[in-house]
Structure 1
Amino acid sequence: MKAATLRTTALRSVGTNTKDPDLIRDRREQLIRAALAVFQEKGFHAATVRDIGRVAGLTQGTIYNYVRSKEDILFLVCDRVIAEYISSMEEAVAAAGDPAARLRAALRGVTRVMIDQSSAILLVYHETHNLDRRSLRSLLARVQGWIRRFEELIVDALGPDHLPKTKRGLLTNIVTFLPTLIALRGWSLPKDLTHDQYTDWLVEFMMRGLGLDKPGGTV
């Protein structure tokens, strides 16, 4: 089954005074990188636009040409983090072969993003409550689209007859949430494991839990 590629840009637009799309992209990239560092250090409430501008090398006046508020910057940060694991999944799926291999590749891709972006993902979990309802709905819609894409991958790998529709949503949510353990429970995880070991073991656990890659299983 070939599904449409998920959007990796925000559904909710952010106001700008600049019409040059390349300049908007470049300046917002500066703001996102700077805001990630500042928000992780100070938290959203204690951080100021001036703090972000200092790290980004931009004046407040310049910043307000590309966003309207600090909340806009937080939205762009959260949207970027979500886009990272959407892109990782789609790239992995495009490079893989049979349905089980595509699912495994997608799980590996998302797990690696959770490892590489763990501090940013933790920030998203802590700070999204500061967004207005429209922004939050936009982000949740993108996450929901990603979950539905994963459901397609799971159904493809197992076969529609092996996974009743009543169980698909719950199972998919369990599988897609497990990799966030690395970001949310990293303080409790063993410190003597490499990133490759975390990835290999977690993906193997999820695949076996789905009934794949085991004697007598689907694959």
Structure 2
Amino acid sequence: MKPDVSSYDQSPAVRKPRARTVKTNTRDETLVQERRDVLIRAAIRVFIEKGFHEATVRDIGRAADMTQGTIYNYVKSKDDILYLVCDRIIAEYQFKVKQALDESAAPATQVSAALRTVARIMYEHQDEIMLIYQNSHLLDKRSRKVILARVEEFIAMFEGILSTASAEARLDFGNLHIAANIVTFLPTMIALRRWSLRDRTEPEEVIEALSSFIARGLGFK
């Protein structure tokens, strides 16, 4: 029987983040979503290459094959684009972890699958993770609050995973909120320490070593 991943979405103390509305001049919601998808992918490439401050809306438009006028039909500023980029990156790795949980059943398997998925996502999207770490402080207060709420939701999801595993596998993880913060933060070293890892290790070795290390620390064999 597959687990109900919705039960891992949040703890009672955490509310789902309410997305910030990005104004648009277009009423066709499908078209807005399609154009923003293209815009986000292009912006990620440009921000990684040039940095947020050096990148211009014109640069993003060229990468997205859109004119500046067209872009401003779907966002109002470069800050809007940065918000959409950060929100998309976090939402995507949350979704992939939930997919991994949906394919697992036993608590130990769920924890292992979630850890490996996060480690793999961090490895495959190192540039995007670095982009968030380097630029999220540039978001306006409201946007930053939404992004941090998404991260808190992700932590709460792991708190739910650990709570279930603790009860069923009879393991004591101590303070579950602290444990969830640890297991969701450690995989970011793949991006933050890539300067040390990239020339000495293979991707699968890093993913396996990190996820196994965390699992052993939690008490799983």
Same fold (TM over 0.5): yes
> Match of 1:217?
none
What is the distance in 2 between the residues matched to 1:189 and 1:196? 12
Q: How does 1:160-175 map to 2 (within 5 A)?
A: 162-163=171-172, 167-175=175-183
Q: How does 1:60-209 map to 2 (within 5 A)?
A: 60-159=68-167, 162-163=171-172, 167-189=175-197, 191-209=199-217
RMSD: 2.0
Cα pair 1:12 1:135 within 8 Å, conserved: yes
1:3 CA displacement: 4.9
1:65 CA displacement: 0.6
1:194 CA displacement: 2.2
What is the distance in 1 between the residues matched to 2:215 and 2:171? 15
Gaps of 5+ in 2: 11-15
Aligned pair in 2 of structure 1 residues 195, 89: CA closer, same or farther (>3 Å)?
same
Cα pair 1:154 1:172 within 8 Å, conserved: yes
TM-score between both structures, scaled by the size of structure 1: 0.90
Determine what percentage of the aligned residue pairs are the same residue: 47
One-letter amino acid matched to 2:141: R
1:70-125 superposed Cα distances (whole Å, 9 cap, x missing partner)? 00000011011101210111000011111111111111111111011000110110
Q: Select the structure with the greater relative contact order (CA < 8 A; seq sep ≥ 6).
A: 2
Q: How does 1:22-61 map to 2 (within 5 A)?
A: 22-61=30-69
Structure 2 counterpart SS, 1:11 = coil
Aligned pair in 2 of structure 1 residues 141, 99: CA closer, same or farther (>3 Å)?
same
TM-score between both structures, scaled by the size of structure 2: 0.89
Aligned pair in 2 of structure 1 residues 57, 51: CA closer, same or farther (>3 Å)?
same
What is the distance in 1 between the residues matched to 2:125 and 2:116? 14
1:10 CA displacement: 6.8
Structure 2 counterpart SS, 1:204 = helix
Cα pair 1:9 1:83 within 8 Å, conserved: no
Between the two proteins, the alignment pairs up a number of residues equal to: 212
